[in-house]
Structures are given as C-alpha cells and as structure tokens.
A and B are shown apart, each in its own frame.
Chain A
C-alpha cells in the first residue's frame, strides 16, 4: 500500500504496517471530531511516525497513485479542516 504524506512524499507500507496506520488514523479522526487540538497534534505525529518508520520512501522516478493521504508534520486541526472543507466534504 502507498501512503502519501502531504508535502513530504510517498511511502510504501506492507499490509500489517498499513493496518497499524489505520488504527492511528482512527485516533486522529477521533481527536479531530472532538475538536481537541492537542490530541490531534499528538495522534497525527504518532501516525506520521508509524508511516515513516515502517514504510519505505518512494524514489522520484516511481510513479504510483496513493491508497491513503495524510497531512504533513505540524498541520494544525484548523489547517486540516481548511484542507477538508475546501472540497466541501465535511462541514466545519
């Protein structure tokens, strides 16, 4: 599975690692829904760590579509909401 970190490149993850990333993704999602800025930052940071630690970064000459995309390091909850609402997927 391929995961793109916005602004930071793509990573190839095996199924187990991808499943683990999914668990952390749920925590990020929960924090976002609760509007908990600190929990969001912490969960996102953990999710990013899982992906970069267990994945292999794709080289520039590998052209692959991603299976999942997450915002990069330091993205705040407000910025994440901005990104999502720009497409009208979720109301603020």
Chain B
C-alpha cells in the first residue's frame, strides 16, 4: 500500500470521528457547524500557543546575548589585568553560550514554520466553514428530506476531512511546542544554576575574582596614600572609630 492510501486512511478515520449523526439529518448540519467553529477556536489557540513559546525562546536568546557581551568584556578586563587564565575561562563560557544561542535560533525558526502553517490552516478552514454555513442554509431551505440527506452527506464528509486535516496540523504544532518547552525549561535551569551566567542575576565567579583583584589593588593604593599622609605628620588620621559599647 502506498503512502497516499495510508494517509487517506488516517484522515478518513479521524474524519469519521467528527461524523456523529443526529436523528434529523438537518440537525447533523448544525451539529457539524458547531464542531467546525470549535475547531476554528482550537486552531486559533494553537497559533497563540506557538507564538507564546516562540516569545519565550526570544527572551532566552536575548538573555544569552547579554551573557555573550558580558563574558567578552570580562575576557578583556582579565587580559588587561594580566589574568590570561580568567580570560580563557570567560571565552570558554562565551563559546558555550554561543552554541546554545545557535540552537535557540534553529528552534525559533522551526516554531515560526509551525506558526505560519497554522495561520494558513486557519485561513483555509475559515473559508471552508463559511462556505459550509452558506451550503447548510441552502440545503435547509431548498431540499426535500430525501434530497437533503444526500447533500448533507456530501457536505459533511467533505468538511470533516478538512477538520481532520487541521486537527493533524494542530497536533503536530502541539508536539513541537511541547518539545520546545522542555528544552526551554532546561535552558532556564542552566541559567538559574549559573552555568550560563544570567547577567540580570548575581555576579559570577569571574566577576568576583576580577573584583578581588581590583579590591586588592584599591587597598594597596589606599595604604600608600595613608602612609604618605601619616608621614606628613597628620595626627587626625590615627583616629579610629570604636564599635558600639555594651551596656
């Protein structure tokens, strides 16, 4: 059996699930129309879900881009202070973040494709549902019960297949966003655990080391200045504040 037949069976089986028949065939029309409207809501929600997931990836990417800029600055600062070891650590981390960024970009592009497909699916189904609404009213107004039965069968079989088609697109997009969410969650965890240095959060170890170097340098400078002052014979410099007295 070729692929065309296999896919046909899948769509037919999904479509048949949407073919619940009412007692009065004319009611079947209204029932199917309601289902179509529900499916339209579903595909619109699907578009919104994909957009939300994409937004999350974009936020993460912008955080990671900040990390790259920060690590770059750290590497320069470290080199200026002759700390090639620290500069190396910063550059290694930068490389790691850049790899994550690249994968985020790829995922974002995939979600964009899914979103575009769902938007097209929504437009198609909207046109179909509108055509069905018109057909439904025509059938109700013009045909005798026997004629109506045939016309109703055709219209509903046709539109059910469209709904199955859109249903598959929604399922696919949901699967993709689910996978993305899991990956996005993993990156969030990495950022939180400090592996990927979130710049909006507390400072990382490179920062602390650089700060210590700068603190040490500052203390030396201050000592030199104080010594110079004392050497100049200024007695006030000896005044040291005492702590709180106990009662």
Residues on A facing B (Cβ under 8 Å): 3-4, 6-7, 9, 21-22, 25-26, 28-29, 32, 59-72, 74, 79-80, 82-84, 86-87, 89-90
The reply to whether B131 and A60 form a contact with Cβ atoms under 8 Å apart is: yes
Size of interface on B: residues with Cβ below 8 Å to A: 38
Out of A6, A61, A69, A86, name the residue touching B135 (CB < 8 Å). A61
Contact, CB under 8 Å: B9 / A87: yes
Please state if B157 and A65 are interface contacts (CB–CB under 8 Å): yes
A4 touches B158 (CB 8 A): no
Residue on A nearest B171 in the bound complex, by CB: A86
The winner among B4, B9, B158 for most chain A CB atoms within 10 A is B4
Could you show 8 A-B contacts with beta carbons less than 8 Å apart?
A: A4-B11, A7-B121, A28-B3, A70-B3, A72-B117, A80-B3, A83-B10, A89-B9
Interface string of B162-195 (1 = CB under 8 A from A): 0001001101100100000000000000000000
B112-168, CB < 8 A from A: 113, 117, 120-121, 124, 127-128, 130-132, 134-135, 154-159, 161, 165, 168
Q: Tell me which residues across on chain B come within 8 A of A61, comparing CB atoms.
A: 131, 134-135
Q: Are B158 and A82 in contact (CB under 8 A)?
A: no
Give the docked Cα–Cα distance between A90 and B8 (Å): 14
